[in-house]
Amino acid sequence: MEYRSLTAQEISELEDAGCHAEEWSRVLVAEGFRPGAVARCTFSGAVRLGAFEEPIRHGATHLPSGVRDSYLHEVTVGSNSLVQSVGLLANYDVGREACILSCDSLTVEGETSFGNGVRIEVLNEGGGREIPLFDRLSAPVAYLAVCYRHRPRLVDAIEQMVRHYAAGKEGTRGAIGEGARVLNCRTIRNVAIGVRATLEGCTLLQNGTICSSAEAPTTVGAGVTASDFIIGTGSVVDGGAMLKQCFVGQACRIGRQFSAEGSAFFANTECFHGEAVSVLAGPYTVSHHKSTLLIAGVFSFYNAGSGTNQSNHMYKLGPLHQGVVERGSKTGSSSYLLWPSRVGPFTVVLGKHSAHFDTGSLPFSYIDESDGRSVLWPALNLFTTGTKRDGMKWAARDRRTDPEKLDPIRFEVFSPLTVGRMMQGIAELEELYASAPREQEYVRHVGIDIKRLLCRRAPRRYRMAVEAYLGETLVRRLEAAEDPADALARPSAGAAGEGDWVDLLGLLAPRGQVESLCDAVERGQVDTLDALQGRLQALCDAYEDHEWAWVLAAWEEWHGEVPAKMSTAELAGVVRDWEETALKLNAMILKDAQKEFDQTSRIGYGSDGGGEAQSRDFQAVRGEFETNEFVRTLREESETIRARARAVLSALGAAGEE
């Protein structure tokens, strides 16, 4: 924008309106500037003012734009903005149509990179797993930087990229984006404020970046104190939240006095009331209740019950223990885990556990406490309403509206990761059952006890899930191609998806592909954060191709057959088996849902009446099983399974045959 000097007449009008300037010659204005929009201000250093022609919207009203009752030092104010009653606004460029109202001070003091480059101690409070923050940090990049310490050259390379990126953010001036609103805040120091962000009633913000965009505006609300931080687009941090050395990703909700230190939270996380220390909280980490402490752990797709707690500090060398709670897990009210431990995917933890266990190979389980002993109930969380609902809700609840979604997320409950773990679990459980004497009640598995008899049953549950998944994937392939030969051919990526899979905090990918990417980073072939992010996104996009390669290999291992070599009759058999298994699993989940309507669930209803009142009260609040939305969805899904099976059998020319 072009600026000009003030005329003598304009200076005179400004002085008459109670304005003062250290040097009027250093106050420049845009074409269209009217002195009448400026009153009772002090200017020092170089100040540039836009044209204040249009009113600015403030709640339900419109206020005249301009600059009034404020001290401005080394500031540019964009056209049609309002700066009013600001004790000190220094070293900022304020975008067009911004509104800064009733604030104590917004200043940039000295050289700063606005939170970029700050190293935070996640996962291990004793250090050794620090990540450097930057305003485009994604969950898998954080995961690699924190958890791949066995590859020091990789970690060094990522840190180097971040240092380079943060250096590009260094400066002595800050930006308050176009259309941003900063209202009734106290101290804001060295904070970059994005486009259309709203800051209202913040207490103290320092050394940070609030990313925000027109599509995904960000809100930082009342009583928030934050230092050394990054907040991602579309997030809301309010309700007196206290953040120190934290990264908050996209579309997160942090509030109601939640306090966090040395922690990183990624997309769609919700944390209220409780506390987090040194946590690497992947997408969909949820902690809603008071007295809940998440500490020194990795979490994702996680739900913390009230009073959930962990310890990392029971021994003499300091807080050096850490825990891993894999995707989809929950911890019940007042549950406790003494780190180190690892909770496998989709596992429910109940009770207090001072044993150190690793249940990674036994996903979809319950971990309970019995007479002070930690007991695993393998595969009991496999065909439950809760697991099914979780799988349905995450993708539907992705609140990210930013066109650029930084965290590449795969939402699948059943994937090569979890199914591969179940296949491993089957072998382990069968071995445990075979080797334990019949009179033995419990067997021991990596630090946890399992009822010996469950080692007999659980593999069958896992088998059903494995077969349903393999069948579903194959049927999906058959549905997508006209010719079965094309459908069952190897994927274009070849064998790239075979072998173990890993979960990079929401991104499911073959271990081999992740290792190849790490190699490329170490060799300098991937040497910018954008390039690294691009490769991770490509891995996410290639999921189906990699998954198919994995399924082909798993099919051969599991069934001893190569799908592409199966006859039409054999394929038809696969489709029928899949239909039967999938319907059976849905029926089991429906039965589980039915418990929510049984007599026990009615306790507490109709408290001032008899059985009839109880029944009617329950029905009024909870409705009927038959009309319940989840139940209807599941039944529709069963109908869809039947229809899909019919269609594929028809395409195979096998409809009606048995």
Closest C-alpha to 200, from 218, 213, 212, 216: 218
For residue 583, state whether it binds another protein (rule: CB under 8 A).
no
Member of 438, 482, 567, 629 binding another protein (CB under 8 A): 438
User: In this structure, are residues 148 and 504 in contact, taking their beta carbons and an 8 Å threshold?
Assistant: no
Task: State yes or no: residue 463 binds another protein (CB under 8 A).
Answer: no
Among positions 4, 460, 490, 616, the unique one binding another protein when judged by CB under 8 A: 460
Continuous segment of H or E residues that includes residue 431:
helix 416-435
- Minimum Å distance from CB 377 to another protein? 5
- Tell me whether residue 238 or residue 579 sits nearer to another protein (CB atom): 579
Q: Pick the stretch among 79-87, 131-139, 472-480, 584-592 that binds another protein (CB under 8 A).
A: 584-592
Q: How far is the CB of 151 from another protein (least distance, A)?
A: 41
- CA distances 297 to 311, 346, 509, Å, are 10, 16, 21
Supply the minimum distance, in Å, between the C-beta of residue 379 and another protein. Answer: 9
Nearer to another protein, 71 or 366 (CB): 366
Q: How far is the CB of 297 from another protein (least distance, A)?
A: 26
User: In the complex, what is the shortest distance from the CB of residue 349 to another protein, in angstroms, rounded to a whole number?
Assistant: 14
Residue number with CB closer to another protein (454 or 509)? 454
Site string (378-417) toward another protein, x via CB under 8 A: --x-------------------------------------
Instruction: Give the integer Cα–Cα distance in Å for 244 and 259.
Output: 8
Binding-site residue total for another protein (CB under 8 A)? Answer: 16
Tell me the C-alpha distance between 334 and 580, whole Å: 40
- Indicate whether 467 belongs to the interface with another protein (CB under 8 A): no
Give Dmax (Cα) for the chain.
102
Cβ 519 vs Cβ 157: under 8 Å = no
Does position 490 interact with another protein (CB under 8 A)? The reply is: no
Residue 364 as a binder of another protein (CB under 8 A): the answer is no
Helix axes 529-541, 511-522, angle to 10 degrees: 160
Taking CB under 8 A as the criterion, the residue among 451, 477, 535, 644 binding another protein is: 451
CB of 364 to another protein, least distance (A): 13
CB of 325 to another protein, least distance (A): 21
377 binds another protein (CB under 8 A): yes
Q: Which CB, 76 or 586, lies closer to another protein?
A: 586
User: Is residue 582 within the footprint of another protein (CB under 8 A)?
Assistant: no
Given candidates 591, 616, 632, 642, which one binds another protein under the rule CB under 8 A? Answer: 591
Alpha-carbon gap, residue 177 to 197, rounded angstroms:
8
Q: Are 83 and 94 in contact (CB under 8 A)?
A: yes
217 preceded by a cis bond (ω within 30 of 0): no
Of the listed pieces 35-43, 222-230, 454-462, 637-645, which binds another protein according to CB under 8 A? 454-462
Among 436, 588, 647, 652, binds another protein (CB under 8 A): 588
- 456 belongs to the binding site for another protein (CB under 8 A): yes
Between 382 and 549, CB nearer to another protein? 382
DSSP result, 315-376: STT-S---EEE-TT-EE-TT-EEESSEEEPTT-EE-SEE-S--B-TTS-S-EEEEETTEEEE
d(CA 193, CA 200): 13
Is residue 457 involved in binding another protein (CB under 8 A)?
yes
Dihedral (Cα; 427, 432, 437, 443), 10-degree rounding: -150
Residue of 321, 353, 461, 546 that binds another protein (CB under 8 A) = 461
Question: Cβ distance 240 to 222 under 8 Å?
Answer: yes
User: Rounded CA gap, 154 and 429, in Å?
Assistant: 36
Specify whether the CB–CB gap between 574 and 566 falls below 8 A.
yes
**What kind and span of H or E run contains 572?**
helix 568-594
Question: Under 8 Å CB-to-CB from 365, ≥6 apart: which residues?
Answer: 344, 347, 348, 359, 376, 377, 378, 379, 380, 381
Q: Are strands 373-377 and 352-353 parallel, antiparallel or unpaired?
A: unpaired
Residue 192 vs 380, nearer CB to another protein: 380
3, 24, 366, 625: residue in contact with another protein (rule CB under 8 A):
366
Note whether 625 binds another protein by CB under 8 A.
Answer: no
Task: Tell whether residue 603 is a contact of another protein (CB under 8 A).
Answer: no
Nearest distance in Å: CB 495, another protein: 36
Residues found in the chain: 658
Which residues contact another protein by CB under 8 A?
366, 368, 377, 380, 438, 451, 453-454, 456-457, 460-461, 584, 587-588, 591
